[in-house]
Amino acid sequence: MMRARGDAYDVAVIGAGMAGMAAALFAAEQGLSCIQIGNGGSLLFASGLLDLLAVHPVAEGRRWQSPYEALAALAVDEPGHPLARVDSASIRAAFECFVSALGAAGLTYAPLGERNRQLLTSIGTIKTSFGVPAAMVAGVDALAARPPCLLVDFRGLREFSAAQIAATLAGHWRGLRHQRLEFPGYEAAAELYSAHLARALESGETRRRTIALVKPLLGDARALGIPAVLGLARASAVHAAFEAELGVPVFEIPTMPTSVPGLRLLGALESALGKRGVHRRQQASVHALAFDAHAGTAELELGSVSGCEHLSARAVVLATGRFTGRGLRAERDAVRESILGIPVQQPDSRAAWHQRDFLDPAGHALNRAGLSVDADWRPLDAGGKPVWPRLFAVGSILAQQDWMRAKCGSGLAIATAWAAMGKVRTALRGTVPA
């Protein structure tokens, strides 16, 4: 079906996880018209922390203080790793742009800097990350300095135990106390849900009552750790109110998914994209994707309630993720790419997918399967040529990376999205009407 050039979007981003959202954001920042398909589901499982690179090599489990130094080592050891193919200046720019957009949408991050940061999780383990929300950053300092500190939790809020955290750190952090509170208004509830608490704390009345419960318990504590429930859309204001009233730094501790920081991240990104005029199709999936050589556009067919919706775009970014998001499908005999059946770089046979030991520190070969891309981030067909001149792939669908073990998920997503979008821009210059 012939379409006039004017009707097509500049770029269609398929996928709304971290990579998809970053790609759409960068597209809009560059002034490209963009439509994004997908429901941001994976962001619901985000912790709010933005990992860049923390562990390399994965087999050794070596942790790095400086992600940029780790990236330098990665470039030497695994030149095929997607992150190795983005220069650090671009990575810095990408993160700055991303975090600045989040800030404008009401979700403030601590200044990024050059170093990774360490902070507590809800079970008392220590997590290394790069981009830390402002509401959590006081926890980094507290963990480093170990002042007298109070940790609180709420009865009924599952999978978060201040007592557990304190017990885990008992030997290492004297002066770490814990206290269980009844969340105001939910005294009769058996089980609490973090998003409800976060919303409730946006009301001044509930906030005052909660602070009133905490204040007398502070004693000599010089920091307060609290589950990440300090507001949803108004997180900055709620956090600031807590610090102002209690007079000590307050840090949120990330909770299990689906967590409030993940909801905040999703909300902030949707808001940022909305403000920049990116069109969205949340609960939709791409049923077919074809390329019109004559018009130079990609034709997408979306499953929709009124039958099918047809869209055109001059460039397409595949950010469909791996198995959970169904960007890749693990079938009996092979791993397949879901939309176009693009060849997936993978072990020769299923027998080689996994190591015998499930928790093998080196990970499993299957985790490194994915799409091979050329220097311009375009996935390759069986003959090693780009499937389509303006089809790009970013994020965790790419081969030769193990983002979970390397703790580089957000970095992978944001950096590759940035790099690819630069190539999209270049490619479109030839096709965008004068």
Partner 1 sequence: MKYALFLGCKIPSKLPAYETSTRAVLRHLGVTLVDLEFDCCGFPARNFSRDAFVVAAARNLALAERAGLDLLAPCACCYGTLRQAMRFLGEDAALRARVTQALAAEGLVWTRKARVEHLLTLLARELGADVLAAAVRSPHTGLRVAAQYGCHVLRPGEVAQFDNPAAPTLFETLIGATGATPVDWPRRLDCCGDPLHEANAPLSGIMAQIKIADAVESGAEMLCTACPHCHLRFDAAQTGSPDQSIRTMLYTQLLGLALGLPAQSLGLAAPLAPRNP
Partner 2 sequence: MPAALFQTALYASLVLCALGLVWRISAWFRVRIGPDAQAPTPYQRAAAACRGSVSVLCSRRALHLLGVFFLDVLLLRRLFASGKLRWFGHLLAVLGFALLLLMHALAPLLGAKLFQDYQATLDPYLFLRDLFGVMILLGVALMLLGRSRARTGFAAPRDPAGASFIALLAIVLVTGFLLEADKIASARAFYRMAEQYAGTADPARLKPLRALWASEFGVAFEDLKGPQTPDLLAQGRELHDKACAACHSKPASAFVAYPLARALAPAMAGLEQGQADVWLLYLHVFACFVGLASLPFTRFFHVLASPLSLLLSGAGSAGEFFPAGRVSRRALALDACVRCGICDARCSVAPLARYLGNPLLLPSHKLLATTALAGGRLLRSGREAETVRAADGAFLCTDCGRCTSHCPVGLDLEDLWEAGRADLAAAGLPRPAQWVQARPAFEWAELLEQIPGKAFAAAPLAACAPLAADSGSFSRCVQCQTCTNVCPVVAHGNGAGHGVDLTPQKVMNLLRLGLRDLTLGSRMVWDCAGCYQCQQSCPEGIRVADIMYELRALSVQRLGAVRSHGAQA
Residues within the interface to partner 2 (CB under 8 A):
39-42, 44-45, 186-196, 199-200, 257-258, 263, 282-283, 285
For partner 1, which residue of 65, 90, 283, 324 counts as binding (CB under 8 A)?
A: 283
Q: Count of residues binding partner 1 (CB under 8 A)?
A: 27
> Nearest approach, Cβ of 76 to partner 2 (angstroms)?
37
- Long-range contacts (CB closer than 8 Å, 24 or more residues apart) made by 239-245: 239/134, 239/135, 241/207, 241/211, 242/207, 242/211, 245/211, 245/215
Chain centroid to CA 79: 24
Which of the choices partner 2, partner 1, none does residue 270 contact, using the CB cut-off of 5 to 8 A by kind? partner 1
> Is the Cβ of residue 92 or residue 280 nearer to partner 1 in the bound state?
280
Q: Which residues contact 188 (CB under 8 A, 6 or more apart)?
A: none
CA distances 26 to 20, 193, 194, 389, Å, are 10, 33, 31, 20
> Nearest approach, Cβ of 226 to partner 2 (angstroms)?
18
> Is the Cβ of residue 45 or residue 288 nearer to partner 2 in the bound state?
45
Query: Which range touches partner 1 (CB under 8 A), out of 146-154, 304-312, 325-333, 358-366?
Result: 304-312
> Is the Cβ of residue 97 or residue 195 nearer to partner 2 in the bound state?
195
> Is the Cβ of residue 21 or residue 415 nearer to partner 2 in the bound state?
21
> Is the Cβ of residue 103 or residue 257 nearer to partner 2 in the bound state?
257
Q: Draw the binding track, 233-262, toward partner 1 (x: CB under 8 A; -: no contact).
A: xx----------------------------
Residue 95, H or E segment: helix 88-104
Q: Taking CB under 8 A as the rule, does residue 280 contact partner 1? A: yes
| CB contact at 8 A, 211 and 246 | yes
> Is the Cβ of residue 129 or residue 194 nearer to partner 2 in the bound state?
194
Q: Taking CB under 8 A as the rule, does residue 267 contact partner 1? A: yes
> Is the Cβ of residue 89 or residue 305 nearer to partner 1 in the bound state?
305
Q: How far apart are CA 231 and CA 243, in angstroms?
A: 14
For partner 1, which residue of 65, 90, 282, 324 counts as binding (CB under 8 A)?
A: 282
Describe the crossing of helices 88-104 and 18-29 by its angle, rounded to 10 degrees.
Answer: 90
Query: Which range touches partner 1 (CB under 8 A), out of 166-174, 265-273, 357-365, 409-417?
Result: 265-273
Q: 26: helix, coil or strand?
A: helix
> Nearest approach, Cβ of 42 to partner 1 (angstroms)?
15
> Is the Cβ of residue 77 or residue 205 nearer to partner 1 in the bound state?
205
Residues, the chain: 434
Q: How far apart are CA 372 and CA 343, in angstroms?
A: 8
Residue 241, H or E segment: helix 235-246
Which of the choices partner 2, partner 1, none does residue 195 contact, using the CB cut-off of 5 to 8 A by kind? partner 2
Q: Which residues contact 417 (CB under 8 A, 6 or more apart)?
A: 19, 20, 22, 23, 26, 94, 317, 319, 394, 395
Site for partner 1 in 10-49 (CB under 8 A): 40
Q: Is the dihedral of CA 67, 70, 74, 75 positive or negative?
A: positive
> Which tokens is 179 given?
């206290």
In sequence order, what DSSP letters do the residues of 135-152 get, joined into one string? HHHHHHHHHHH--SEEEE
List beta partners, residue 225.
Answer: 151, 251
Least Cα distance to 338 among 371, 385, 372, 308 occurs for: 371
Which of the choices partner 1, partner 2, none does residue 189 contact, using the CB cut-off of 5 to 8 A by kind? partner 2
> Is the Cβ of residue 225 or residue 267 nearer to partner 1 in the bound state?
267
> Which tokens is 163 given?
């007592």
Which of the choices partner 2, partner 1, none does residue 257 contact, using the CB cut-off of 5 to 8 A by kind? partner 2
What is the four-CA torsion angle of 225, 231, 233, 239, rounded to 10 degrees?
-50
Query: Which range touches partner 1 (CB under 8 A), out of 276-284, 317-325, 374-382, 402-410?
Result: 276-284
> Is the Cβ of residue 100 or residue 121 nearer to partner 1 in the bound state?
100
> Nearest approach, Cβ of 204 to partner 1 (angstroms)?
6
> Nearest approach, Cβ of 196 to partner 1 (angstroms)?
11
Q: Taking CB under 8 A as the rule, does residue 69 contact partner 1? A: no
Q: Contact residues for partner 1 (CB under 8 A)? A: 40, 199, 202-205, 231-234, 266-267, 270-271, 273-275, 279-284, 304-307
